[in-house]
Amino acid sequence: MCLAIPMKIRSINGEFAEVESGRLIRKANVQMLPKAKIGDYVLVHAGFAIEIVDPKRAKETLRILTET
């Protein structure tokens, strides 16, 4: 099973973005999402942002993940 985590874009530099989820900060490749911008929530899988998601949906998913 594969898991993609919703993360918020903090900054973008070329094809890479600094993304955060809680206290976790990582770099993710955003090449597949040319419309992604700072403040967007994206699903990150294996270091790649694969989908822009609704902020409400992202926050709910993160809430569920932290409960378990």
- What's the pLDDT tens digit per position in 28-39? 999 999 999 999
Q: Which of 54, 52, 62, 63 is nearest to 28 (CA)?
A: 52
CATH number at residue 20: 2.30.30.140
Q: Which domain holds residue 48?
A: 5-67
> What is the model's pTM?
0.91
45/39 Cα distance (integer angstroms):
18
| Residue 15 identity | E
Q: Which of 32, 28, 30, 33 is nearest to 47 (CA)?
A: 28
What's the total number of domains in the chain?
1
Q: What is the structure's pLDDT at 22?
A: 85
